[in-house]
Amino acid sequence: MTALQEKPKAVAPSGPPPRRRGKRATALAGTDKLVLAIMLGIPTIVHLLFVWIPTLGSIALSFSRWNGIGGFEDIEWIGVENYVEIFTEYPRFWPAVQHNLIWLAFLLVVPTCAGLLLAVLLDRELRFSRIYQSALYMPMVLSLALIGFIWQLIYTPDGGLLNSVLGLDKPVDWIGDSDINLYAVLVAAAWRHTGYIMLLYLAGLKGVDPSLKEAAALDGASATQTFFRVTFPVMKPVNIVVAVVTVIEALRAFDIVYVINKGRNGLELLSVLVTDNIIGEASRIGRGSAVAVILLTISLGVIIPYLYQTFSKENRT
Amino acid sequence: MTATLERPSAPVVSKKRTITPARAALHAFLILTCLMTLAPLLWAVYASLRTYEDTSVNGYFSVAKSLTLANFAKAWEIGDLPHFYLNTFLITVPALVLTLLLSSMVAFGVSRFSFKLNLVLLMIFTAGNLLPQQVIVTPLWRLYRLIEVPEWISASGSLIDSQLGVILIHIAFQSGFCTFVLSNYMKTIPYELTEAARVDGASVFRQYWQLTLPLCRPVLAALATLEFTWIYNDFLWALVLIQDGDKMPVTSALQNLKGTFFTDNNLIAAGSLLVALPTLVVFFVLQRQFVGGLTLGSTKG
Amino acid sequence: MVRYTPGSSPLPHFGRRAMLRIMLAGAGVAATGGLAACGGGSSSGGDSKVVTFGNNLSDQVPKDAITAALKGFDAQSGGYSVTINTKQHEQYQEQINNYLQGKPDDVLAWFAGYRMRFFADQGLTGDLSDLWGKIGGNYSDALKQASTGSDKKQYFVPFIQYPWGMFYRKSVWQERGYTVPKTLDELVAVSTKMKADGLIPIAFAQKQGWPGMGTFDQLNFRINGYQFHVDLLAGKENWQDKKVKDVFDTWKRLLPFHQENALGREWQEAAQALQQKKAGMYLLGSFVGQQFPDADKDDLDFFPFPEINPEHGTDTVEAPIDGYMMAKKPANKDGALKLLEYLASPEPQLAYLKADPNSIATNTKADTSGYSALQKKSAEVIKSAKHITQFLDRDTDPGFASEAATNGLIAFIKNPDDIDSVLKGMADQAKNIFK
């Protein structure tokens, strides 16, 4: 047996529970234990202090009325009033929820399909494949704020590229018309997201065992059949990652609408409502925090199953 | 997971390939798609090369009277870009280095040793990375105001309005993702290696610093590329935490070009491209690492 | 295969030390740090002669102008010198709340009226009553009023001022034979004529959320008078009042003459439509001139928004005042007061206007002989006004302006037939805010 607590390479699913092995930690030399504690402790403190404690703070503040001025003694605690107001009165809330959902649906459908298609097309011996890939995922490295700037050059009603190319008699107000501006912005967001999805699927496709495909081909399956019956199901882990990445991206969406018109007039998003309420000239910290908590709850609805999926598998291997 | 990194960078070109109509159609489709993808950027480049006098009279959708780099020079000067690039690098580089350092320590701990909170710790980090940033803004700002730091670090005497504050939140936030990826990678390193070192009497720190980290170089390179882009592109944290206009990173300073009092879209286009330049350079030079980084988190298991 | 060389570490060696420092700072246990902070630190301890100046004029023309204006201070202040901290104009306003509570500059830019009172009332800015004892003679009563908080103390020093009105290009009007409208009907008539001539009668932009507030203001005080306007914005009148509905009905009548797609356009683009002779008029502040090249500046003129209700005529002018406040606890109070006193004098105001001739000085002793024709007219219009308003977002609660008013106006422009539900929404939120 080893004195150190090195993790054995493979632990059987029914292996000893961590608690029992934990006892043997005494086997580590004193200094090593201390070093290890510091190595784990410092990052954990930083992470907890600046990410999780503020998160808890937001939850607490969501039950308050506070204009952000003065100390904590100025905070008035009002229970769930903020939530009631948000759900019943706040005129921008439900539109924001709707826009976030549209955002999510759009990102789940368009960039995912486009990314998957491009990945499938590029996952073969193909001349210039790398050049194509580079071009397709280049938008990834640009910030969303910058993308907001660049796409406004395309969308401006007077003299923008799109209206000029379309050459309509009556220019379309891509950014100002609240019936279409969300989709106009979504195209810009999808423009950036597609390359990412393509890359994830490319990696996934390369990881698929070629013998599976060969076996399917021998059974007389067409290429399409092989893809949907063999390849796609095997890529389940990638599909999950794509789903999580997309959901988080959709919930976090902020920079691009904020740069374009501060998230007003058809571009309201939950993240914008949080920002508007907590920073800005007249803060309503309580209401902003309550929207943040709603956003948090939705996010956790995705994060927790994902963690469960990822780490329960880990325990088994 | 490591497979993606070690895979040959380009498929071996087979010589006997012939051009079939299907192939030609595929290429045509891909070329078209790429052009459409690049169109917005190319359009910005085109606009940036034209003068205000030209576009204000002829509109943007016209053949340029002349092309000039003057907008770039003007944006560089008016936007005081060198100064803001420096600000950005003062934030990005320390944040990047420390994020990698701290998360590699956690990853090392959770992947090489077993203890009670092993998995819990990893889950906290992973989940933290996925939180929407706005959720933590207000309490974070208050917390920063309470934390005193010496004035040589921050003139405000607290973490507010200091580059250190922005660096810290980047570290705290980004270490989630890096820990997750690094721990996955470290699990694939045969544990016999560290065991041999341990038998030789190597300390825990030596096992981490001299043994494990060097082996993680490919994944560290990939993460560094990726994190550079993410931290560089940050918009929200500086907006919320920095009050002194002179300390803003370059992405936020871009707003200065889009001043309330004179809009010159050609100038903004030139400024935008200049701001994007470092990430584009990193992207072209370190493309392989970048791709590796993006796919790291996904292909495990 | 395994490399043990320490040099192969991808991380620089300063990492550990820096990390330790951050940990100490981060955990708040840097006792020495805390002490150093109290003692003023070593690096910046000796320069109590520096006055910091929070500037929101981020664009080139006004930024150069304010820099020029401050130049004179260093010379005549007896050893003080100014450090300018410039922040993007709109970002500055968004952050003002945190800024005032965090680490504000000694002297900082702000706007007169309700918007100043909001922060003064909460004790976030310094009392300037003593200073006003010295500089009061420079200003008219209206300006003093606009600088006074709810507690009758002064918290603000006016710097420059500019009127809102209908701006147009003289050459275009001459060429086409348009005459300045005196009444609403005449405005409609000239607009109709412009439309027939292929011009956009009234340039319009509302993407930034605030320019359209100017239109509301003009219509409201022309129709309902100054007092109703001020009371409405202070939450003392009901937004569902018939009088308010009249305003929106009138606006609806004028909307067909406004530039289309306003919600996707920024005011700068609308101003350029005027400058490029595509539009006939533009209702905006005189800063519209900043979008005009020097050669075209002399061609720019304006007239006050025409009379609608004879009872009120054109007795009210919207003329926002930009100026400066002092931090609650300035690091350098002496210097801050000196700087504010300096800003209240004619020299810096004229120095500013030389570089940005789109406003006028607030100091009544400032020499106006160097003014352009447009500036002379601005000064005259403001002087002859019976009432002066600031601007919707400066005359009401910031929360109401940024949320209810902005989104209400957008909703109206989007769907002008839906006035009742827009006004109901605004009324509900007003009730919530002005409890």
CATH code, C407: 3.40.190.10
CA dist., res. C126 & res. C136, Å (int): 17
Assess A176–C contact: CB distance below 8 Å, yes or no: yes
Mean pLDDT calculated for residue range B89-97: 94
Burial (CB count within 10 angstroms: exposed 0-12, middle 13-18, buried 19+), residue C381: buried
How many other C-beta atoms lie within 10 A of the C-beta of residue A16? 12
Please judge whether C4 and B214 are an interchain contact, meaning their C-beta atoms are less than 8 angstroms apart: yes
B84 Cβ neighbours under 8 A, 6+ residues apart: B248, B249, B250, B253
Amino acid A98: pLDDT: 93
Q: Are residues C332 and C342 in the same domain?
A: yes
Q: Which residue of A has its CA nearest to B125?
A: A47
- Minimal Cβ distance to A7: which of B11, B102, B191: B191
Confidence of residue B16 (pLDDT cuts 50, 70, 90): low
How many angstroms separate the CA of residue A116 from the nearest CA in chain B? 14
Please judge whether A177 and C406 are an interchain contact, meaning their C-beta atoms are less than 8 angstroms apart: no
How many angstroms separate the CA of residue C19 from the nearest CA in chain B? 7
Query: Where exactly are the structural domains of chain A?
Result: 20-83, 92-316
Could you tell me where the beta strands, DSSP code E, fall in C89-212?
Answer: 107-111, 157-161, 164-169, 200-203
Is B160 strand, coil or helix? Answer: coil
Q: Are residues C265 and C343 in the same domain?
A: no
Residue C34 falls within a domain, yes or no?
no
* Tokens encoding C221: 């005080």
How many angstroms separate the CA of residue A200 from the nearest CA in chain B? 6
Please judge whether C291 and B149 are an interchain contact, meaning their C-beta atoms are less than 8 angstroms apart: no
CA dist., res. C289 & res. C293, Å (int): 8
Assess B14–A contact: CB distance below 8 Å, yes or no: yes
Any chains having at least 3 CB pairs less than 8 A from chain B are A, C
Q: Which residue of C has its CA nearest to B104?
A: C11
Confidence of residue A184 (pLDDT cuts 50, 70, 90): very high
Q: Name which of C56, C261, C269 to mutate to probe chain A: the one with the most chain A Cβ atoms within 10 A of its Cβ.
A: C261
CA dist., res. C98 & res. C60, Å (int): 26
A222-249 confidence digits (pLDDT tens): 888 888 888 888 888 788 888 888 888 8
Name the amino acid, one letter, at A163: N
- Residues of chain C found within 8 Å of residue A258, distances taken between Cβ atoms: none
Q: Are residues C212 and C151 in the same domain?
A: no
- Minimal Cβ distance to A157: which of C19, C124, C265: C265
The position carrying tokens 């988190």 is B297
Mean pLDDT calculated for residue range B238-244: 82
Nearest Cα to A183, choosing from A274, A97, A257, A270? Answer: A257
> What CA–CA distances, in Å, run from C312 to B12, C73, C254, C319, C379?
84, 43, 20, 17, 21
Nearest Cα to B174, choosing from B121, B229, B118, B250? Answer: B229
How many angstroms separate the CA of residue A153 from the nearest CA in chain B? 7
How many angstroms separate the CA of residue C337 from the nearest CA in chain A? 25
* Torsion, Cα of C287, C288, C290, C292 (10° steps): -150
Domain count, chain C: 2
Q: Which residue of A has its CA nearest to B204?
A: A32
Residue C142 falls within a domain, yes or no?
yes
> What CA–CA distances, in Å, run from C387 to A46, B111, C381?
56, 73, 11
> What CA–CA distances, in Å, run from C135 to B62, B115, C145, C340?
56, 71, 14, 10
Name the amino acid, one letter, at A254: F
CA dist., res. A70 & res. C119, Å (int): 12
Q: Which residue of A has its CA nearest to B60?
A: A159
Q: Name which of B260, B264, B266 to mutate to probe chain C: the one with the most chain C Cβ atoms within 10 A of its Cβ.
A: B260
Confidence of residue B293 (pLDDT cuts 50, 70, 90): low
Amino acid A27: pLDDT: 58
Amino acid B28: pLDDT: 92
Q: Are residues C172 and C293 in the same domain?
A: yes
Q: What is the value of ipTM here, to two decimals?
A: 0.82
Give the pLDDT means over successive 10-residue stretches in chain C (435 positions).
Answer: 32 35 34 32 52 87 88 84 86 84 90 90 92 91 89 94 95 94 95 95 92 95 94 93 95 94 87 92 92 88 95 93 94 92 93 90 90 92 90 89 89 92 90 81
Mean pLDDT calculated for residue range B209-228: 87
How many angstroms separate the CA of residue B145 from the nearest CA in chain C? 7
Assess A189–B contact: CB distance below 8 Å, yes or no: no
CA dist., res. B28 & res. B126, Å (int): 41
How many angstroms separate the CA of residue C55 from the nearest CA in chain A? 16
* Residue B187 contacts residue A317 (beta carbons within 8 Å): no
CA dist., res. C209 & res. C407, Å (int): 8
Residue C391 falls within a domain, yes or no?
no
Nearest Cα to B242, choosing from B253, B228, B258? Answer: B253
DSSP string computed for C10-68: SS-THHHHHHHHHHHHHHT--HHHHHHHHTT-SSSTT-TTEEEEEE---SHHHHHHHHH
Judged against a pLDDT cut of 50, whether residue A6 lies above it is answered with no
How many angstroms separate the CA of residue B247 from the nearest CA in chain C? 10
Name the CATH topology of A92-316: MetI-like fold (1.10.3720)
- Minimal Cβ distance to A279: which of B135, B171, B240: B240
Q: Which residue of C has its CA nearest to A90?
A: C429
Mean pLDDT calculated for residue range A1-22: 39
Note which residues in 239-298 of chain B have CB less than 8 A from chain A: 239-240, 251, 254, 258, 265, 268-269, 272, 275-276, 279-280, 282-284, 287, 290-291, 294-295, 297-298
Q: Are residues C208 and C253 in the same domain?
A: yes
Q: Are residues C199 and C312 in the same domain?
A: yes
Residue C229 falls within a domain, yes or no?
yes
% of chain A exceeding 70 in pLDDT: 89
> What CA–CA distances, in Å, run from C277 to C197, C273, C281?
12, 6, 9
Is A16 strand, coil or helix? Answer: coil
CA atoms within 13 A on the CB side of C156: 31
CA dist., res. B150 & res. C117, Å (int): 34
C234 Cβ neighbours under 8 A, 6+ residues apart: C114, C395, C396, C434
How many other C-beta atoms lie within 10 A of the C-beta of residue B251? 24
Please judge whether A261 and C208 are an interchain contact, meaning their C-beta atoms are less than 8 angstroms apart: yes
CA dist., res. B274 & res. B283, Å (int): 14
Please judge whether B135 and A151 are an interchain contact, meaning their C-beta atoms are less than 8 angstroms apart: no
Query: Is the C-alpha dihedral spanning A74, A79, A85, A90 positive or negative?
Result: positive
B21-68 confidence digits (pLDDT tens): 888 899 999 999 999 999 888 988 988 898 877 777 777 777 777 888
Domain count, chain B: 1
Angle between helices B163-187 and C14-27 (to 10 degrees): 120
* Tokens encoding C8: 């192969």
- What is the domain extent for residue B95? 87-247
CA dist., res. C258 & res. A19, Å (int): 73
DSSP symbol at A310: H
How many CB pairs below 8 Å do chains A and C form together? 102
Q: Are residues C421 and C277 in the same domain?
A: yes
CA dist., res. C29 & res. C19, Å (int): 14
Note which residues in 275-334 of chain C have CB less than 8 A from chain B: 276, 287, 290-291
Task: Give the end-to-end CA distance of chain A in Å, rounded to a whole number.
Answer: 21
What is chain C's length?
435
Task: Give the end-to-end CA distance of chain C in Å, rounded to a whole number.
Answer: 74
Please judge whether C41 and B151 are an interchain contact, meaning their C-beta atoms are less than 8 angstroms apart: yes
Residue B214 falls within a domain, yes or no?
yes
CATH code, B176: 1.10.3720.10
- What is the domain extent for residue C267? 164-318+397-433
Residue B107 falls within a domain, yes or no?
yes
How many CB pairs below 8 Å do chains B and C form together? 161
- Residues of chain C found within 8 Å of residue B159, distances taken between Cβ atoms: 25
Q: Are residues C336 and C408 in the same domain?
A: no
DSSP symbol at B158: B
Q: Which residue of C has its CA nearest to B216?
A: C10
CA dist., res. A66 & res. C176, Å (int): 57
Note which residues in 193-252 of chain A have CB less than 8 A from chain C: none
- Minimal Cβ distance to B157: which of C18, C37, C85: C37
How many angstroms separate the CA of residue B274 from the nearest CA in chain C? 19
Please judge whether C266 and B101 are an interchain contact, meaning their C-beta atoms are less than 8 angstroms apart: no
Nearest Cα to C420, choosing from C245, C252, C247, C254? Answer: C245
CA dist., res. A299 & res. B132, Å (int): 8
Instruction: Please report which residue ranges of C77-113 form alpha helices under DSSP H.
Output: 89-101
* Residue C112 contacts residue A59 (beta carbons within 8 Å): no
DSSP symbol at C183: B
Q: Which residue of A has its CA nearest to B111?
A: A7
Amino acid C38: pLDDT: 34
Average predicted confidence (pLDDT) for chain A:
82
* Residue C154 contacts residue C170 (beta carbons within 8 Å): no
* Tokens encoding B100: 């990698």
* Tokens encoding C351: 């120095």
How many CB pairs below 8 Å do chains A and B form together? 338
- Minimal Cβ distance to B138: which of A8, A131, A285: A285
Assess B213–C contact: CB distance below 8 Å, yes or no: yes
Residue C230 falls within a domain, yes or no?
yes
Amino acid B262: pLDDT: 53
DSSP string computed for B185-206: HHHTS-HHHHHHHHHTT--HHH
Please judge whether C19 and B101 are an interchain contact, meaning their C-beta atoms are less than 8 angstroms apart: yes
How many angstroms separate the CA of residue B168 from the nearest CA in chain C? 8
Q: Are residues C280 and C423 in the same domain?
A: yes
A189-199 confidence digits (pLDDT tens): 999 899 888 88
More confident residue, A125 or C421: C421
How many angstroms separate the CA of residue A296 from the nearest CA in chain B? 7
Note which residues in 151-180 of chain B have CB less than 8 A from chain C: 151-153, 155-161, 164, 167-168, 171
- Residues of chain A found within 8 Å of residue B38, distances taken between Cβ atoms: 135, 138
- Residues of chain C found within 8 Å of residue A283, distances taken between Cβ atoms: 97
Residue B235 falls within a domain, yes or no?
yes
Nearest Cα to C159, choosing from C292, C389, C366, C323? Answer: C323
